[in-house]
Structure 1
Amino acid sequence: MDSEKLIHKITEKKALKDSKELLDYVSESGENTKEYIRYKTLWAMLQTGNEMDEETINDGYKAVKRNVKGRKSSLYINVVKYAAIVVFALLGGYFIHFADFNNEIAMNEIFVPKGNRTSVVLPDGSKVWLSNGTKLVYPESFVGDFRNVQLEGEGFFEVTHDKDHPFIVNVGKHRIKVLGTKFAVVAYPDDEQVKAELVSGKIQFDIHLGGTGDNYKSLMVSPMHSLVYDKTSGKVYDSTIPDGFYDYWQNGVYSFKDERFDSLATKIARIYNVEIVFGDEELKTRTFTGTLSVDDNIYTLMEAFKIASGKPFEYTFESGKIYINK
């Protein structure tokens, strides 16, 4: 099966299990499996606009158009649209491949590098927005009693309601059960906390208590509240969602109030793909109030922090790192 025919079947939303031709093609070799998952995942990312600006789309389109000849059918347009997003994905450093292929169910894996954002439509129509060093693993189609996905990093979910098939976000050993709702999860493996933020609907935060098996402590999250689990102490904190919640997910603007510099440094490192190194422990404890945008220039941002700081500090850039000293 050539690439154009494979893309054509994917753009027709032909499920693997519903097409003997697709299933035979994927079963032929591991390379065919990878090719299918690569195309399928990229097409899913394309469905929600993928946070691409018009210039990026046009550049990708032009680059492909110069090398594609033939009739301008709907298939041709789909191929060019697909190729444009491939150009975007490669330039942005996105990593997309299959995680497993078993029992006719393929697993998609998307990794969004630091300093980037994207979105994807899942097989059930649910939408997920991902950003800044985040990995999402999900099946090509949901089967069985539950709709399971795995997340490392941060994502905002709009889950399609299906009371008979709960949606579950697995974050390490912990999980979040959903029926149909809007919520966000922040669960980086190297962070000390796991956070669930509920906008509307109903979610259950299952905290794994150690050992093997289903040993969970289940907590309900109230709408417009966040539940934070501290991995070190085992404590759980409940708080209201800040006013700037939507700005961050919809517009890439992060609002903060009296937040410590070391906490902001973690956010800055993920958004701007830099590492911040503090030369003095006291610098970490300084607090700031304001906003930062994914579109901000990192140099301008650091100048703003320097001006806003009650005590002076100096900073230098070197090989992707920002060194901050008194």
Structure 2
Amino acid sequence: MDSEKLLHKIAENKSLTDSEELYDFVNESGEHTKQYIRYKTLWAMLQTGSEMDEITINKGYEAVKRGVKGRRKSVLNAIAKYAAIIILAVSAGYFLQYAGFDNEIAMNEIMVPKGNRTSVVLPDGSKVWLSNGSRLVYPESFVGDFRDVQLEGEGFFEVTHDKKHPFIVNVGKHRIKVLGTKFAVVAYPEDDQVKAELVSGKIQFDIHLGGTEENYKSFMVSPMHSLVYEKASGKMYDSTIPDGFFDYWQKGVYSFKDERFDSLATKISRIYNVEIIFGDEELKSRTFTGTLSVDDNIYTLMEAFKIASGEPFEYTFESGKIYIDK
């Protein structure tokens, strides 16, 4: 099977179980397996559900064809333009981290850099919106009793209802079990907490207690509530989802009220792909109320924080870092 035909089958959303010819090609050699995964991931990067029109998809298809001929730089530029996502594994020579090919199922891994957002449609029709340094691993097709995915970072899920096959989001050793619903998860490995925010439906937050693999303590999350698990203390906190929840996921606008500067700095660093360094510990505890948008200019934003601060501070930019001091 030549590259042109392989790309057409992927563009037609042909899975391995749908096409005997495609299955035979992928399993013929390890190189064919890797080739299929590279092309599949490149194509997946260009999909943003119903938001993409036919012209954009056609341009994306041409970009993929150019990219597989060896011009990685040009295809990356095209993907960044049309899909606003870059796979971090490109430096290793592949657009997908090869995660295995057991049981005839390939594992897709999408990584979204800081300052970027994208969406992906899963094999069961479920939709996931990812942003700011997030990583999602999901199979080519769901098999077995559960629909398992792995998440690092933050994602908003709109899960297709399937009572017989619960949807599970694995976040480290913990997990969130779903039947069909809309919810968000914030689970960065470096953060002190894991958060599940339920919009509608029903989810179960399972906290792993250590010991055996199935040693979990389960908590139910109520609609329009968030449940936060503190990693260090093991405590759980329930609260109402703030009014600005939908603005963040739909419009990229983050609302905050009396939020500490160090907490906001973490959010800013992920949205604008900068590192914030405080020169004085007192600055971290200052609180702010307002909004910030993914479309804001970082320089204008820092000026706004400086003006809003009770006692003005100084800041400097240097090589992707922002130094803040009194």
Offset at residue 212 of structure 1 (A): 2.7
* Equivalent pair of 2:275/2:322 in contact (CA under 8 Å): yes
Tell whether 2:87 aligns with 1:94.
Answer: yes
Letter in structure 2 aligned against 1:93: I
* Equivalent pair of 1:45/1:121 in contact (CA under 8 Å): no
Aligned counterparts of 2:120 and 2:57: Cα–Cα separation in 1: 20
Letter in structure 2 aligned against 1:257: K
Aligned residue number for residue 173 of structure 1: 173
Deviations 1:236-267 (A, max 9, x none): 00000000001100110000000000000000
Aligned counterparts of 1:62 and 1:24: Cα–Cα separation in 2: 24
* Equivalent pair of 1:112/1:133 in contact (CA under 8 Å): yes
Equivalent residues in 2 for 1:213-228 (5 A)?
Answer: 213-228=213-228
Equivalent residues in 2 for 1:187-266 (5 A)?
Answer: 187-266=187-266
Aligned counterparts of 2:114 and 2:53: Cα–Cα separation in 1: 18
Structure 1 window deviating more from structure 2 (24-33 vs 204-213): it is 24-33
Calculate percent identity across the aligned residue pairs.
80
Offset at residue 41 of structure 1 (A): 3.1
Deviations 1:34-67 (A, max 9, x none): 2212332343444435988999x59966985997
Cα–Cα, structure 1 residues 85 and 251, in superposed 2: closer, same or farther, change >3 Å? Answer: farther
Deviations 1:83-102 (A, max 9, x none): 97882149853234131111
Aligned counterparts of 1:54 and 1:235: Cα–Cα separation in 2: 49
* Equivalent pair of 1:120/1:127 in contact (CA under 8 Å): yes
What value does the CA root-mean-square deviation take over the aligned residues?
2.8
Aligned counterparts of 1:47 and 1:59: Cα–Cα separation in 2: 11
Cα–Cα, structure 1 residues 131 and 64, in superposed 2: closer, same or farther, change >3 Å? Answer: closer
Offset at residue 8 of structure 1 (A): 1.2
Aligned counterparts of 1:65 and 1:190: Cα–Cα separation in 2: 34
Letter in structure 1 aligned against 2:293: S
Aligned residue number for residue 41 of structure 1: 41
Return 5+ residue gaps in structure 2 as ranges: 68-73, 89-94
Aligned counterparts of 2:215 and 2:298: Cα–Cα separation in 1: 44
Letter in structure 1 aligned against 2:205: F
* Equivalent pair of 1:42/1:86 in contact (CA under 8 Å): no
Aligned counterparts of 1:31 and 1:315: Cα–Cα separation in 2: 51
Aligned residue number for residue 300 of structure 2: 300
Deviations 1:256-305 (A, max 9, x none): 00000000000000000000000011000000000000011100000000
Cα–Cα, structure 1 residues 64 and 177, in superposed 2: closer, same or farther, change >3 Å? Answer: closer
For normalisation by structure 1, the TM-score amounts to: 0.88
Cα–Cα, structure 1 residues 164 and 284, in superposed 2: closer, same or farther, change >3 Å? Answer: same
Letter in structure 2 aligned against 1:215: N
Aligned residue number for residue 106 of structure 1: 106
Offset at residue 103 of structure 1 (A): 1.4
Offset at residue 188 of structure 1 (A): 0.3
For normalisation by structure 2, the TM-score amounts to: 0.88
Secondary structure of the residue aligned to 1:220 is strand
Letter in structure 1 aligned against 2:41: T
* Equivalent pair of 1:230/1:236 in contact (CA under 8 Å): yes
Secondary structure of the residue aligned to 1:242 is coil
Aligned counterparts of 1:325 and 1:59: Cα–Cα separation in 2: 49
Aligned residue number for residue 140 of structure 2: 140
Aligned counterparts of 1:187 and 1:27: Cα–Cα separation in 2: 35
Aligned residue number for residue 309 of structure 2: 309
* Equivalent pair of 2:128/2:155 in contact (CA under 8 Å): yes
Cα–Cα, structure 1 residues 149 and 94, in superposed 2: closer, same or farther, change >3 Å? Answer: same
* Equivalent pair of 1:44/1:122 in contact (CA under 8 Å): no
Aligned residue pair count: 311
* Equivalent pair of 1:51/1:117 in contact (CA under 8 Å): no
Tell whether 2:21 aligns with 1:21.
Answer: yes
Equivalent residues in 2 for 1:147-166 (5 A)?
Answer: 147-166=147-166
